[in-house]
Amino acid sequence: RATMRGKNEAPHTGTTIVACEYDGGVVLGADTRVSTGIYVSNRASDKMVALNDCSIMCRSGSAADTEALAGYVRHIISQHEMELDERADVKTVATITNQLGYQNKGMNNGAGMSAYTIVGGWDARRGAQVYACTAGGNMIKERWTTDGSGSTYIWGFLDDGWRENMTREECEKFVAKAIALAMSVDGSSGGCIRLNTVDRTGITRTFIQGNDIPPILGELPQSRGRPTLALHGHQGASGGMML
């Protein structure tokens, strides 16, 4: 017998986040769609946050949980840096992120924190680094990684296409294409693409609009400007459709 979804049951959410190392830095990227079940609540959100001057967190899971986690990590890192009078390295930032996430696994009435994150960046001690922080308490150093509902569709693409010593431009194009592929087949991923490139000079942010993303797998291209008027009507003085 079919039953309706319980009122207290969390709706399905989704996203696509990717991080890859290149020769001299790391590129982190994400789509911008925030979905609540079948409803798109935000099509241009920012799923990446700077935890300090050399580290970026990519967020997937619950928007509320991951935003709270990022806020606490930034607070702890700022205190840590003031006490030591030096910038925290990427591994330290990732370790604090992972510990906070795991230590709060009993929140949300025992369901646990819905926070699946990637922390990446560059520091003088270890160079470019990417860490996958799982809800189960694992922190795994990777050369590239992905997470979110869209990640299911692009593991093979990333595994086949990533190579060592890529240039910055090659890595940025690679990450952007991977996210675009996920957006084309995952209904919970979409909108635009945001990139964060981290190297010895700091953090560089890039925004790719939806109509600048080439169509993939038979998608219709997004048009620029105002939509074309229907042939059976004309536009009124107020901008509305007159039939």
Q: Tell me the sheet residues that pair with 233.
A: none
Residue-level pLDDT at 241: 47
| Helix, strand, coil distribution of the chain in percent, nearest 5 | 30, 30, 40
Across the 243 residues of the chain, what is the mean pLDDT of every consecutive 10-residue run? 47 81 97 83 91 96 90 96 95 96 79 87 96 91 95 96 95 97 90 96 95 78 58 51 47
Structure tokens at 16: 């696509």
64 HSE (CA, 13 A, CB side)? 6
Rounded to whole angstroms, the Cα distance separating 18 from 58 reads 8
Which of the residues are catalytic? 15
Residue-level pLDDT at 62: 86
Q: Tell me the sheet residues that pair with 194.
A: 30, 207
Residue-level pLDDT at 238: 55
Residue-level pLDDT at 120: 98
Task: State pTM to two decimals.
Answer: 0.83
